[in-house]
Amino acid sequence: HILGRPVSLVRCPTGKPQDCFFQRHAFTGMPSSVATFETTNSEGETKSYLSVEDAKGYLALAQFGVVEFHTWGTHRTRLDKPDLIVFDLDPGEGVSWREVVEAAVHIRTELE
């Protein structure tokens, strides 16, 4: 579900959690297998964003310390037509994996 969608990245280039950062725009030395595209945001500013079209692009980004990929709910070619929603179930301190699974099953049941 991630190919062809705009993507934001969590990069940890040194491997240390305190050095991690969120990135959604192109960067110097970016692999050629990562596409960029421009769109205008809600404030009227034109910005360049990232999209990865094949597995090679994701492997290349791993070389730059990318540890998380956050996709938009649209494809790059249809930004005005969202077709994906993601429920990100991050357990807090003291929350068991069983409780996370129960929450996921509950969401699925409600959506069916």
46-93 pLDDT, tens digit each: 988 999 988 888 898 999 999 999 999 999 999 999 999 989 898 889
Q: What is the pLDDT of residue 90?
A: 86
Q: How far apart are CA 34 and CA 86, in angstroms?
A: 23
Name residue, tokens 């491997």.
Answer: 15
Quickly list DSSP for 42-93.
TTS-EEEEEEE-SHHHHHHHHTTTEEEEEE-SS-TT-TTS-----------T
Q: What is the pLDDT of residue 11?
A: 95
Residue 98 located in a structural domain: no
Contacts of 91 (CB under 8 A, 6+ apart): 97, 99, 100
Number of separate domains in the chain:
1
CB 90 within 8 Å of CB 100: no
Residue 110 located in a structural domain: no
Which pLDDT band holds residue 32 (cuts at 50, 70, 90)? confident
Q: Across the chain, what does the average pLDDT equal?
A: 91
Residue 56 located in a structural domain: yes
Question: Per-residue pLDDT averaged across 26-43, rounded?
Answer: 87
Residue 96 located in a structural domain: no
Residue-range definition of the domain harbouring residue 28 = 6-80
pTM value surpassing 0.85: no
Q: How far apart are CA 105 and CA 94, in angstroms?
A: 20
